[in-house]
Chain A
């Protein structure tokens, strides 16, 4: 079956522009996570959805970052007024159920470069 997909794969934005990153999780997966991965670092948690409810947004770096999952499937991460420090790979992951034993299935990521 299809895995997690993300679009676009690459995005170049001028500083100050708004961007929207899309994640299509595996069908039926309840949990959806967004992570930010800087070059040479481990992914850092941004936010978590259980179905359409955003249950944890403690990792969002500022109020310029906003995420939604209105129908409990596709999710969008929006970054307003992008800054150079936002340059990173944004990874989306989904998991079939709530529970610590379930692996997270990762998408290929969106590489954002802010110039």
Chain B
């Protein structure tokens, strides 16, 4: 069985500061993918970044980077230079080959960016 854990229910961060959102996972499948999605108050799920279990380098997409520590089973999201528009719910999710690729989501972290 797979499990995703996000231990931070909510965080405040000042504009222009960096913020790290924690995510740990558990799976027995050696092949899996880790995703981060953003969900603003409007409700749509917006894809941010992907990391494959066999990827040697940490993924980066603009201001988003993923700190992937495979041995510790963690996949933390780092948002650099936070903007007011980054205020949203952030979900970590995992797909594994033994489960038809369905997403297992964490409980989410609510981020509020303050001026």
Interface residues of A (CB under 8 A from B): 31, 33, 35, 40-45, 48, 50, 55-56, 59, 89, 91, 93, 95, 98-106, 108-109, 111
Chain A residues with Cβ below 8 Å from B103 are: 33, 35, 43, 45, 93, 104
In addition to A42-B106, A101-B33, A109-B44, 7 A-B residue pairs with Cβ atoms within 8 Å of each other are A41-B107, A48-B102, A56-B100, A93-B45, A100-B101, A104-B103, A106-B45
Closest A residue by C-beta to B99: A56
Given the known inter-chain contacts A41-B108, A42-B91, A42-B106, please indicate yes or no for A48 contacting B45, CB distance below 8 A: no
A103 touches B50 (CB 8 A): yes
Q: Sample 29 A-B pairs with CB under 8 A, ordered by A number.
A: A33-B102, A33-B103, A35-B103, A40-B108, A42-B91, A42-B108, A43-B105, A44-B105, A45-B102, A45-B103, A48-B100, A93-B103, A95-B101, A100-B31, A100-B32, A100-B33, A100-B52, A100-B95, A100-B101, A101-B33, A101-B52, A102-B101, A103-B35, A104-B103, A105-B47, A106-B44, A106-B45, A109-B43, A111-B43
- Residues of B within 8 Å of A102, CB to CB, are 101
Question: Inside 8 A of A99's CB, which chain B residues have their CB?
Answer: 101
Closest to B95 in A: A100
Residues of A within 8 A of B37 (CB): 106
